[in-house]
Amino acid sequence: MPRYDAVVVGAGPGGAATATLLARGGAKVLLCDRSSFPRDKTCGGGLTPRGVGAIERLGITLGERDARRVDGVEMYGPDGSLQVAFPSTSSWPSYGLVGRRSVIDQKIVDQAVAAGVELRTGVRVIGPLFEDGVCRGVRVRSNGTVEDVEAAWSVAADGATSVVARGAGLADTVSSGRGFWYTALRAYFGPVEPGASMLEFYPLRTASGRWLPAYGWVFPLPDGGANVGVDIPHAPSLAACPSLHDAFDGFIERLRKTRPGFEDAAMELPPQGALLPEAMRGFRPGAPGLVCVGDAAGLITPYSGEGIAYALESAELASSAMLSAATPSDIVRRYERALREGYGFQFATALRIMKAMRVGPLAGIAASIGFRSERLLRAAVRVMAYLIEDAPDTTSAASRLYRMVERAWPG
């Protein structure tokens, strides 16, 4: 039976980064994925300044051919748009990047292999292996053969529908009703005139003009194309929301009519969809011998559906805990505490806001005010991208906004 210090399931950003950091710490690591690389993935492909900072800490540089630099956010309303640059901070760069996931993920996988990680693709994981309440590895199927891979630690990095996390009882299914889920659909289009170097967001409305807690996006790619998609709640009770495919088709039609440089853009391949579990709702970060990172831990912000930055940062937190030489239970507690301290306040606040926008007129009010106030939009961008360096109890504008929300939507 093979023996590793860690087996990491899923070679996306969270998994490959975790494997890299563990190997650099001296661990013998197996990284496995059911796909061969390079491979694409349903995602906006956008790195906010937090994500850029995390990928740079891995020692990875994304060149001009790999990713396009974006300097902020442009929000489109019925009467025009507002542009807001990413803020200058001492902790992160003041720009973001957009690239194809086939490129970004390959860069991180290459870094893992260079660190000494053993990479196995074409491997389908059946589930985790537990003995006396401790995860001892995972069971995999490869080339028709079933094999038990034994490891001191297992890492679930296999996405929103993680087989490992669900097999360990750490993650809900979307049908449970306990989580907070969105759905996204995206495709690549080209050529697309990029306009300003911004992440373009388009809040969505119904045919009658009612604002929805949903948005469309256009993110410019370095090859002259664009990543285009929509993000809507996975909540059948929200009768006002169209179906995912109807929302996508309507958004593309809107872009062809209203966005300069998009009318002749062609879709490369049929759109791809994904489920987005947000704010860790319905997820637990680990059990003795097992930790979950990225989407497998529900680490997606409800504000924008951003997940890459949190996948990379959770890789740092998980690998640090696993390399601490503490007991299995202490390692899980340490990791859970780090996630709570890092994201608990932000996710809880975001969850309250997004829930309120689903059931009341707040979406329309927020859109109406936001499209008229550059100052408010600037604060919103800082909060949405979580570019806040101070503690929530300080006097910064972003912190005051957080406290206002805390009072307005308790519990």
Domains of the chain: 3-67+98-174+282-342 (3.50.50.60), 181-276 (3.30.9.100), 349-408 (no CATH)
Query: How many other C-beta atoms are found inside a 10 Å radius of the C-beta of residue 398?
Result: 21
Among 208-217, 290-299, 303-312, 400-409, whose mean pLDDT is lowest?
400-409
Mean pLDDT across the stretch 177-181?
83
What is the residue-averaged pLDDT of the chain? 89
Q: How far is CA 380 from CA 71, 129, 202, in A?
A: 15, 44, 15
Among 156-160, 194-198, 319-323, 386-390, whose mean pLDDT is lowest?
386-390
Percentage of the chain modeled with pLDDT above 90: 69
Mean pLDDT across the stretch 257-276?
95
Q: How far is CA 104 from CA 13, 89, 299, in A?
A: 8, 24, 19
Separation CA 93–CA 53 (nearest Å): 6
The model's confidence at residue 195, banded by pLDDT at 50, 70 and 90, is confident
pLDDT digits (tens, 9 = 90+) for 332-380: 999 999 999 999 988 988 888 888 777 656 666 666 666 667 777 888 8
* pLDDT at residue number 325: 77
* pLDDT at residue number 335: 97
pLDDT digits (tens, 9 = 90+) for 39-84: 999 999 999 999 999 999 999 999 999 999 999 999 988 778 889 9
Is 128's pLDDT higher than 60? yes
* pLDDT at residue number 353: 82
pLDDT digits (tens, 9 = 90+) for 314-330: 999 999 999 997 889 99
Phi, psi torsion values for 5, nearest 5 degrees:
-70, -35
Separation CA 100–CA 43 (nearest Å): 9
pLDDT higher at 178 or 405: 178
Three-state secondary structure string covering 155-220 = EECCCCCCHHHHHCCCECCHHHCCCCEEEEEEEEEECCCCCCCCEEEEEEECCCCCEEEEEEEEEE
Phi, psi torsion values for 356, nearest 5 degrees:
-65, -35
The model's confidence at residue 130, banded by pLDDT at 50, 70 and 90, is very high
